[in-house]
Protein backbone atom coordinates (compact mmCIF):
# COMPACT_ATOMS: atom_id res chain seq x y z
CA UNK A 1 0.00 0.00 0.00
CA UNK A 2 1.25 3.46 -0.82
CA UNK A 3 1.13 6.55 1.29
CA UNK A 4 -2.16 8.38 1.62
CA UNK A 5 -1.43 11.94 0.62
CA UNK A 6 -4.70 13.55 -0.47
CA UNK A 7 -6.72 14.79 1.24
CA UNK A 8 -4.10 15.45 3.89
CA UNK A 9 -4.62 15.14 7.61
CA UNK A 10 -4.23 17.82 10.22
CA UNK A 11 -4.91 17.32 13.87
CA UNK A 12 -7.38 19.69 15.45
CA UNK A 13 -5.99 21.09 18.70
CA UNK A 14 -8.71 21.08 21.30
CA UNK A 15 -8.44 22.40 24.83
CA UNK A 16 -8.02 19.52 27.24
CA UNK A 17 -10.12 18.92 30.29
CA UNK A 18 -10.90 15.88 32.38
CA UNK A 19 -14.18 15.39 30.58
CA UNK A 20 -13.05 16.09 27.03
CA UNK A 21 -12.34 13.36 24.52
CA UNK A 22 -9.09 12.86 22.64
CA UNK A 23 -8.43 15.35 19.89
CA UNK A 24 -8.93 13.70 16.52
CA UNK A 25 -7.66 14.32 13.03
CA UNK A 26 -9.72 16.34 10.58
CA UNK A 27 -9.51 16.45 6.82
CA UNK A 28 -8.12 19.61 5.31
CA UNK A 29 -6.27 20.80 2.23
CA UNK A 30 -2.49 20.65 1.87
CA UNK A 31 -0.53 22.70 4.39
CA UNK A 32 3.12 23.52 3.82
CA UNK A 33 5.64 22.57 6.46
CA UNK A 34 6.79 26.18 6.68
CA UNK A 35 3.44 27.25 8.15
CA UNK A 36 2.77 24.17 10.28
CA UNK A 37 3.21 24.75 14.03
CA UNK A 38 5.00 21.43 14.50
CA UNK A 39 7.73 22.48 12.09
CA UNK A 40 8.16 26.12 12.95
CA UNK A 41 11.63 25.71 14.48
CA UNK A 42 14.73 24.89 12.41
CA UNK A 43 16.23 21.47 13.02
CA UNK A 44 19.75 20.19 12.36
CA UNK A 45 20.26 17.26 9.98
CA UNK A 46 21.42 13.82 11.04
CA UNK A 47 21.76 11.23 8.29
CA UNK A 48 18.97 12.74 6.18
CA UNK A 49 16.67 12.88 9.20
CA UNK A 50 15.58 16.01 11.00
CA UNK A 51 15.62 16.15 14.76
CA UNK A 52 13.23 18.12 16.93
CA UNK A 53 14.94 18.41 20.29
CA UNK A 54 14.59 20.78 23.22
CA UNK A 55 16.81 20.58 26.26
CA UNK A 56 15.23 19.04 29.34
CA UNK A 57 15.49 20.88 32.64
CA UNK A 58 14.28 18.00 34.81
CA UNK A 59 16.60 16.92 37.61
CA UNK A 60 18.42 13.61 37.68
CA UNK A 61 17.03 10.76 39.77
CA UNK A 62 18.51 7.27 39.93
CA UNK A 63 16.04 6.00 42.54
CA UNK A 64 12.63 5.91 40.91
CA UNK A 65 10.86 5.45 44.25
CA UNK A 66 12.38 8.57 45.81
CA UNK A 67 10.37 11.19 43.88
CA UNK A 68 6.86 11.85 45.28
CA UNK A 69 4.07 11.33 42.77
CA UNK A 70 2.91 14.89 43.40
CA UNK A 71 5.93 15.99 41.37
CA UNK A 72 4.45 14.29 38.28
CA UNK A 73 7.22 11.78 37.50
CA UNK A 74 8.79 11.64 34.05
CA UNK A 75 8.14 8.52 31.97
CA UNK A 76 10.27 7.94 28.87
CA UNK A 77 8.99 5.73 26.08
CA UNK A 78 10.44 4.45 22.83
CA UNK A 79 8.39 2.74 20.17
CA UNK A 80 5.65 2.86 17.59
CA UNK A 81 3.40 5.74 16.58
CA UNK A 82 1.01 5.83 13.64
CA UNK A 83 -2.18 7.23 12.19
CA UNK A 84 -5.14 4.86 12.67
CA UNK A 85 -7.96 4.77 10.10
CA UNK A 86 -10.78 3.19 12.12
CA UNK A 87 -13.76 1.81 10.21
CA UNK A 88 -16.67 0.25 12.09
CA UNK A 89 -18.76 -2.27 10.13
CA UNK A 90 -21.86 -4.26 10.98
CA UNK A 91 -19.96 -7.50 10.35
CA UNK A 92 -16.52 -8.27 8.95
CA UNK A 93 -16.75 -8.67 5.16
CA UNK A 94 -16.24 -11.89 3.27
CA UNK A 95 -13.72 -11.96 0.39
CA UNK A 96 -14.83 -9.79 -2.55
CA UNK A 97 -17.68 -8.24 -0.54
CA UNK A 98 -18.55 -4.55 -0.76
CA UNK A 99 -19.85 -3.05 2.48
CA UNK A 100 -20.31 0.35 4.09
CA UNK A 101 -18.98 1.64 7.37
CA UNK A 102 -21.34 2.49 10.20
CA UNK A 103 -18.73 4.78 11.80
CA UNK A 104 -15.34 6.17 10.80
CA UNK A 105 -12.58 7.99 12.68
CA UNK A 106 -8.99 9.00 12.01
CA UNK A 107 -6.85 9.13 15.13
CA UNK A 108 -3.28 8.71 16.32
CA UNK A 109 -2.19 5.22 17.25
CA UNK A 110 0.82 2.96 17.80
CA UNK A 111 1.59 1.09 21.01
CA UNK A 112 4.02 3.61 22.48
CA UNK A 113 1.96 6.60 21.38
CA UNK A 114 -1.16 5.16 22.97
CA UNK A 115 0.49 4.09 26.23
CA UNK A 116 2.19 7.45 26.77
CA UNK A 117 -1.01 9.33 25.93
CA UNK A 118 -2.61 7.33 28.74
CA UNK A 119 0.29 8.26 31.04
CA UNK A 120 -0.13 11.94 30.15
CA UNK A 121 -3.86 11.94 30.88
CA UNK A 122 -3.19 10.35 34.25
CA UNK A 123 -1.03 13.34 35.12
CA UNK A 124 2.55 12.17 34.54
CA UNK A 125 5.13 13.74 32.21
CA UNK A 126 5.83 11.42 29.28
CA UNK A 127 8.64 11.86 26.75
CA UNK A 128 8.43 9.80 23.59
CA UNK A 129 11.29 8.77 21.30
CA UNK A 130 10.15 7.69 17.83
CA UNK A 131 10.28 8.67 14.16
CA UNK A 132 7.90 10.08 11.58
CA UNK A 133 8.33 11.59 8.14
CA UNK A 134 7.77 15.20 7.19
CA UNK A 135 4.38 14.42 5.64
CA UNK A 136 0.77 15.14 6.56
CA UNK A 137 0.42 12.00 8.66
CA UNK A 138 3.64 12.72 10.54
CA UNK A 139 2.65 16.28 11.34
CA UNK A 140 -0.75 15.10 12.52
CA UNK A 141 0.84 12.45 14.75
CA UNK A 142 3.07 15.05 16.42
CA UNK A 143 0.25 17.54 16.81
CA UNK A 144 -2.06 15.09 18.55
CA UNK A 145 0.64 13.88 20.94
CA UNK A 146 1.68 17.45 21.74
CA UNK A 147 -1.91 18.49 22.46
CA UNK A 148 -2.29 15.56 24.86
CA UNK A 149 0.81 16.55 26.82
CA UNK A 150 3.30 14.04 25.39
CA UNK A 151 6.74 15.60 24.88
CA UNK A 152 7.75 14.90 21.26
CA UNK A 153 11.02 16.87 21.43
CA UNK A 154 12.97 13.66 20.96
CA UNK A 155 11.36 12.58 17.68
CA UNK A 156 13.41 12.13 14.52
CA UNK A 157 11.60 13.64 11.53
CA UNK A 158 12.74 12.29 8.17
CA UNK A 159 12.71 14.79 5.31
CA UNK A 160 11.67 12.04 2.89
CA UNK A 161 9.60 8.88 3.28
CA UNK A 162 6.24 7.89 4.74
CA UNK A 163 4.92 8.00 8.29
CA UNK A 164 3.37 4.77 9.62
CA UNK A 165 -0.38 4.20 9.38
CA UNK A 166 -2.85 1.41 10.14
CA UNK A 167 -6.24 0.42 8.76
CA UNK A 168 -8.42 -0.95 11.57
CA UNK A 169 -11.73 -2.70 10.90
CA UNK A 170 -14.01 -2.97 13.96
CA UNK A 171 -16.61 -5.73 13.71
CA UNK A 172 -19.67 -4.47 15.58
CA UNK A 173 -21.12 -7.98 15.71
CA UNK A 174 -18.20 -9.81 17.33
CA UNK A 175 -16.62 -6.73 18.98
CA UNK A 176 -13.25 -7.63 17.45
CA UNK A 177 -10.80 -5.50 15.48
CA UNK A 178 -8.55 -6.40 12.56
CA UNK A 179 -5.41 -4.30 11.95
CA UNK A 180 -3.52 -3.83 8.68
CA UNK A 181 -0.33 -1.92 9.39
CA UNK A 182 2.01 -0.11 7.02
CA UNK A 183 5.36 0.62 8.73
CA UNK A 184 7.00 3.98 8.34
CA UNK A 185 9.90 4.45 5.96
CA UNK A 186 12.79 4.89 6.42
CA UNK A 187 12.90 2.97 9.72
CA UNK A 188 14.39 4.54 12.82
CA UNK A 189 18.04 3.84 13.61
CA UNK A 190 20.14 5.04 16.59
CA UNK A 191 22.07 7.33 14.26
CA UNK A 192 18.92 9.36 13.63
CA UNK A 193 19.47 11.11 16.98
CA UNK A 194 22.68 12.23 18.65
CA UNK A 195 23.73 10.53 21.89
CA UNK A 196 23.08 13.77 23.76
CA UNK A 197 19.38 13.49 22.89
CA UNK A 198 19.07 10.06 24.49
CA UNK A 199 20.83 11.29 27.63
CA UNK A 200 18.64 14.39 27.75
CA UNK A 201 15.47 12.33 27.36
CA UNK A 202 16.48 10.10 30.28
CA UNK A 203 17.33 13.04 32.52
CA UNK A 204 15.13 12.82 35.63
CA UNK A 205 13.15 9.81 34.36
CA UNK A 206 11.40 7.57 36.87
CA UNK A 207 10.91 4.67 34.43
CA UNK A 208 11.54 3.80 30.77
CA UNK A 209 9.06 1.91 28.59
CA UNK A 210 9.64 0.00 25.35
CA UNK A 211 6.96 -1.57 23.14
CA UNK A 212 9.43 -3.91 21.39
CA UNK A 213 9.59 -1.85 18.17
CA UNK A 214 12.59 0.17 16.91
CA UNK A 215 14.80 -2.41 18.60
CA UNK A 216 18.17 -0.97 17.53
CA UNK A 217 17.34 2.40 19.05
CA UNK A 218 15.59 0.83 22.04
CA UNK A 219 18.68 -1.22 22.88
CA UNK A 220 20.89 1.87 22.98
CA UNK A 221 18.41 3.67 25.26
CA UNK A 222 18.04 0.59 27.49
CA UNK A 223 21.78 0.37 28.02
CA UNK A 224 21.96 4.03 29.02
CA UNK A 225 18.92 3.63 31.31
CA UNK A 226 20.62 0.74 33.11
CA UNK A 227 23.75 2.87 33.58
CA UNK A 228 21.53 5.50 35.25
CA UNK A 229 19.71 2.88 37.38
CA UNK A 230 16.36 3.74 35.77
CA UNK A 231 13.97 0.76 35.78
CA UNK A 232 12.62 -0.57 32.49
CA UNK A 233 9.19 -1.94 31.55
CA UNK A 234 8.79 -3.87 28.30
CA UNK A 235 5.60 -4.64 26.40
CA UNK A 236 6.15 -8.16 25.05
CA UNK A 237 3.26 -8.31 22.62
CA UNK A 238 4.79 -10.89 20.29
CA UNK A 239 8.11 -12.38 19.22
CA UNK A 240 10.08 -9.60 17.52
CA UNK A 241 13.58 -9.10 16.22
CA UNK A 242 15.86 -7.86 18.98
CA UNK A 243 13.35 -8.45 21.77
CA UNK A 244 15.47 -11.12 23.47
CA UNK A 245 18.34 -8.67 23.92
CA UNK A 246 15.97 -5.99 25.21
CA UNK A 247 14.32 -8.31 27.74
CA UNK A 248 17.67 -8.88 29.46
CA UNK A 249 17.54 -5.26 30.66
CA UNK A 250 13.93 -5.31 31.84
CA UNK A 251 12.69 -4.91 35.40
CA UNK A 252 9.02 -5.41 34.52
CA UNK A 253 7.35 -7.21 31.61
CA UNK A 254 3.73 -7.06 30.44
CA UNK A 255 2.87 -9.78 27.91
CA UNK A 256 0.02 -10.58 25.58
CA UNK A 257 -1.78 -13.87 26.16
CA UNK A 258 0.25 -15.85 23.61
CA UNK A 259 3.73 -14.48 24.31
CA UNK A 260 4.87 -16.39 27.44
CA UNK A 261 4.35 -19.83 25.93
CA UNK A 262 5.66 -18.77 22.52
CA UNK A 263 8.84 -17.39 24.07
CA UNK A 264 9.50 -20.17 26.59
CA UNK A 265 7.80 -23.15 24.84
CA UNK A 266 6.28 -24.08 28.20
CA UNK A 267 3.02 -26.09 28.06
CA UNK A 268 1.00 -23.72 30.27
CA UNK A 269 0.96 -19.99 31.02
CA UNK A 270 1.84 -20.39 34.75
CA UNK A 271 4.85 -22.56 33.91
CA UNK A 272 5.86 -20.07 31.23
CA UNK A 273 5.82 -17.25 33.77
CA UNK A 274 8.06 -19.23 36.11
CA UNK A 275 10.38 -19.91 33.18
CA UNK A 276 10.53 -16.19 32.35
CA UNK A 277 11.56 -15.29 35.91
CA UNK A 278 14.22 -17.99 35.85
CA UNK A 279 15.59 -16.92 32.45
CA UNK A 280 15.44 -13.21 33.27
CA UNK A 281 16.77 -12.85 36.84
CA UNK A 282 16.49 -9.04 36.79
CA UNK A 283 12.69 -9.08 36.40
CA UNK A 284 10.65 -8.07 39.45
CA UNK A 285 7.29 -9.14 37.97
CA UNK A 286 5.70 -10.32 34.78
CA UNK A 287 2.04 -9.79 33.85
CA UNK A 288 0.16 -11.62 31.11
CA UNK A 289 -3.04 -9.92 29.92
CA UNK A 290 -5.97 -12.15 28.94
CA UNK A 291 -8.58 -9.71 27.61
CA UNK A 292 -12.00 -10.28 29.13
CA UNK A 293 -10.49 -12.99 31.34
CA UNK A 294 -8.36 -10.45 33.19
CA UNK A 295 -4.68 -11.04 33.84
CA UNK A 296 -2.16 -13.14 35.74
CA UNK A 297 0.87 -11.70 37.50
CA UNK A 298 3.88 -13.48 38.95
CA UNK A 299 5.96 -11.38 41.33
CA UNK A 300 9.43 -12.42 42.43
CA UNK A 301 9.90 -12.53 46.20
CA UNK A 302 12.83 -10.37 47.25
CA UNK A 303 11.98 -9.24 50.78
CA UNK A 304 10.14 -11.98 52.63
CA UNK A 305 11.44 -15.30 53.94
CA UNK A 306 11.85 -18.23 51.58
CA UNK A 307 9.30 -21.00 52.14
CA UNK A 308 10.60 -24.56 51.94
CA UNK A 309 7.43 -26.30 50.75
CA UNK A 310 7.00 -26.43 46.98
CA UNK A 311 3.61 -25.66 45.41
CA UNK A 312 2.69 -26.56 41.85
CA UNK A 313 2.15 -23.28 39.99
CA UNK A 314 -0.60 -24.69 37.76
CA UNK A 315 -2.51 -25.93 40.79
CA UNK A 316 -2.07 -22.61 42.56
CA UNK A 317 -3.55 -20.73 39.60
CA UNK A 318 -6.49 -23.12 39.49
CA UNK A 319 -7.23 -22.67 43.18
CA UNK A 320 -6.87 -18.88 42.87
CA UNK A 321 -9.33 -18.71 40.00
CA UNK A 322 -11.86 -20.68 42.06
CA UNK A 323 -11.85 -17.76 44.52
CA UNK A 324 -13.24 -15.33 41.94
CA UNK A 325 -16.61 -13.83 42.79
CA UNK A 326 -18.61 -13.81 39.55
CA UNK A 327 -21.18 -11.44 41.06
CA UNK A 328 -18.65 -8.59 41.25
CA UNK A 329 -18.54 -6.68 37.96
CA UNK A 330 -15.71 -4.29 38.87
CA UNK A 331 -12.05 -5.39 38.63
CA UNK A 332 -10.64 -7.30 41.59
CA UNK A 333 -7.37 -8.97 42.52
CA UNK A 334 -6.78 -12.35 44.18
CA UNK A 335 -3.37 -12.87 45.78
CA UNK A 336 -1.55 -15.93 47.04
CA UNK A 337 0.92 -15.87 49.87
CA UNK A 338 4.63 -16.16 49.08
CA UNK A 339 5.26 -19.65 47.76
CA UNK A 340 8.07 -21.74 46.37
CA UNK A 341 6.45 -22.18 42.99
CA UNK A 342 7.29 -25.31 41.05
CA UNK A 343 6.90 -25.54 37.28
CA UNK A 344 7.07 -29.17 36.24
CA UNK A 345 10.09 -29.80 34.03
CA UNK A 346 11.29 -26.17 34.34
CA UNK A 347 12.29 -25.32 37.90
CA UNK A 348 11.18 -23.38 40.95
CA UNK A 349 11.00 -19.71 41.87
CA UNK A 350 10.02 -18.03 45.11
CA UNK A 351 7.22 -15.57 44.52
CA UNK A 352 3.60 -14.56 44.74
CA UNK A 353 0.85 -15.23 42.19
CA UNK A 354 -1.92 -12.72 41.50
CA UNK A 355 -5.09 -13.16 39.47
CA UNK A 356 -6.69 -9.94 38.26
CA UNK A 357 -10.22 -9.84 36.91
CA UNK A 358 -11.44 -7.60 34.09
CA UNK A 359 -14.38 -5.24 34.33
CA UNK A 360 -17.62 -6.80 33.14
CA UNK A 361 -18.61 -4.24 30.48
CA UNK A 362 -22.25 -4.40 29.34
CA UNK A 363 -22.49 -5.36 25.68
CA UNK A 364 -24.28 -2.11 24.92
CA UNK A 365 -21.29 -0.12 26.25
CA UNK A 366 -18.52 -2.15 24.59
CA UNK A 367 -17.49 -0.16 21.50
CA UNK A 368 -13.92 -0.99 20.53
CA UNK A 369 -11.02 -2.91 22.12
CA UNK A 370 -8.36 -1.20 19.98
CA UNK A 371 -5.55 -0.06 22.29
CA UNK A 372 -6.96 -1.67 25.44
CA UNK A 373 -3.62 -3.36 26.09
CA UNK A 374 -1.79 -0.05 25.66
CA UNK A 375 -4.16 1.59 28.16
CA UNK A 376 -3.47 -1.24 30.61
CA UNK A 377 0.28 -0.68 30.26
CA UNK A 378 -0.10 3.09 30.65
CA UNK A 379 -1.92 2.48 33.92
CA UNK A 380 0.77 0.01 35.07
CA UNK A 381 3.43 2.66 34.40
CA UNK A 382 1.45 5.09 36.56
CA UNK A 383 1.00 2.47 39.27
CA UNK A 384 4.74 1.75 39.41
CA UNK A 385 5.48 5.47 39.75
CA UNK A 386 2.83 5.73 42.48
CA UNK A 387 4.17 2.64 44.29
CA UNK A 388 0.81 0.88 44.10
CA UNK A 389 0.87 -2.66 45.53
CA UNK A 390 -0.23 -5.32 43.00
CA UNK A 391 -3.60 -5.67 44.75
CA UNK A 392 -4.28 -2.05 43.76
CA UNK A 393 -2.33 -1.89 40.50
CA UNK A 394 -4.13 -4.68 38.67
CA UNK A 395 -7.72 -3.44 39.31
CA UNK A 396 -6.59 0.11 38.47
CA UNK A 397 -5.08 -0.97 35.15
CA UNK A 398 -8.17 -3.04 34.33
CA UNK A 399 -10.41 -0.04 35.04
CA UNK A 400 -8.39 2.23 32.75
CA UNK A 401 -8.49 -0.39 29.97
CA UNK A 402 -12.25 -0.80 30.41
CA UNK A 403 -12.80 2.95 30.09
CA UNK A 404 -10.92 2.91 26.79
CA UNK A 405 -13.14 0.10 25.44
CA UNK A 406 -16.19 2.34 25.70
CA UNK A 407 -15.10 4.57 22.79
CA UNK A 408 -13.93 4.17 19.20
CA UNK A 409 -10.16 4.31 18.75
CA UNK A 410 -7.16 3.68 20.96
CA UNK A 411 -7.23 7.09 22.64
CA UNK A 412 -10.81 8.42 22.66
CA UNK A 413 -11.85 6.62 25.82
CA UNK A 414 -8.63 7.02 27.79
CA UNK A 415 -9.62 8.55 31.14
CA UNK A 416 -8.11 11.64 32.70
CA UNK A 417 -6.79 11.65 36.24
CA UNK A 418 -9.87 13.52 37.49
CA UNK A 419 -12.25 10.88 36.08
CA UNK A 420 -14.64 9.89 38.85
CA UNK A 421 -14.25 6.21 37.91
CA UNK A 422 -10.63 6.39 39.07
CA UNK A 423 -11.27 8.34 42.27
CA UNK A 424 -11.03 5.34 44.57
CA UNK A 425 -7.55 4.56 43.24
CA UNK A 426 -6.07 8.05 42.99
CA UNK A 427 -7.42 9.85 46.06
More confident residue, 9 or 209: 209
Is the model's pLDDT at 395 over the cut of 60? yes
| Non-local CB neighbours of 95 within 8 Å, separated by 6+ positions | none
Q: What is the C-alpha separation between 279 and 174, in angstroms, rounded?
A: 38
Is the model's pLDDT at 16 over the cut of 60? no
Cβ of 180: how many Cβ atoms within 10 Å?
Answer: 11
Please provide residue 304's backbone torsions phi and psi, each rounded to the nearest 5 degrees: -90, 170
| Non-local CB neighbours of 271 within 8 Å, separated by 6+ positions | 264, 313, 314, 343, 344, 345, 346
Is the model's pLDDT at 162 over the cut of 70? yes
Q: Looking at residue 107, what is its pLDDT?
A: 92
Please provide residue 138's backbone torsions phi and psi, each rounded to the nearest 5 degrees: -65, -40
Please provide residue 46's backbone torsions phi and psi, each rounded to the nearest 5 degrees: -135, 105
Q: Looking at residue 32, what is its pLDDT?
A: 33
How many residues are there in the chain? 427
Cβ of 302: how many Cβ atoms within 10 Å?
Answer: 8
Distance from chain centroid for Cα 10: 24
Task: Give the chain's mean pLDDT.
Answer: 85
Q: Looking at residue 31, what is its pLDDT?
A: 31
Helix (H, G, I), strand (E, B) or coil at 149: coil
Q: What is the pTM of this model?
A: 0.83
Q: Looking at residue 326, what is its pLDDT?
A: 87
C-beta of residue 284 within 8 angstroms of C-beta of residue 302: yes
C-beta of residue 200 within 8 angstroms of C-beta of residue 224: no
Q: Which of these ranges, 104-108, 178-182, 258-262, 299-303, has the smallest mean pLDDT?
A: 299-303
Q: What is the C-alpha separation between 232 and 248, in angstroms, rounded?
A: 10
Is the model's pLDDT at 81 over the cut of 80? yes
Average of per-residue pLDDT across 171-190: 91
Closest CA to 246 of 275, 211, 278: 211
DSSP assignments along 305-341, one per residue: ----SEEEHHHHHHHHHTT--TT--S--EEEPPPEEE
pLDDT band of residue 70 (cuts 50, 70, 90) is low
Q: Looking at residue 110, what is its pLDDT?
A: 94
Tell me: cis bond preceding 186? Omega within 30 of 0 counts: yes
In tens, the pLDDT along 112-122 reads 999 999 999 99
In tens, the pLDDT along 333-365 reads 999 999 999 999 999 999 999 999 999 999 999
Cβ of 29: how many Cβ atoms within 10 Å?
Answer: 8
Strand partners, 285: 252, 299
C-beta of residue 186 within 8 angstroms of C-beta of residue 42: no
C-beta of residue 240 within 8 angstroms of C-beta of residue 213: yes
Is the model's pLDDT at 1 over the cut of 80? no
Domains of the chain in start order, with CATH, are 46-426 (3.40.1190.20)
pLDDT band of residue 302 (cuts 50, 70, 90) is confident
Amino acid sequence: MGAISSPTLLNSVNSRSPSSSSPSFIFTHNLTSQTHPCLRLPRPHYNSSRLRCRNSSARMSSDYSATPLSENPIVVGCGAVSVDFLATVAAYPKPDDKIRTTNFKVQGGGNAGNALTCVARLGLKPRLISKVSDDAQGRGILDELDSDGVDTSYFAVSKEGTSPFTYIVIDNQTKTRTCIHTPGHPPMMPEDLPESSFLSALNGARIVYFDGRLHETALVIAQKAVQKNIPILIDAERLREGLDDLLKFSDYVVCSAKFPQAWTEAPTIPRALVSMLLRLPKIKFVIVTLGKDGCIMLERNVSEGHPTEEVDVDGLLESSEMRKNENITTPTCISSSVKKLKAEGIGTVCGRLYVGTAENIPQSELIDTTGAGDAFIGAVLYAICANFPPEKMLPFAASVAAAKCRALGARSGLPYRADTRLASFLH
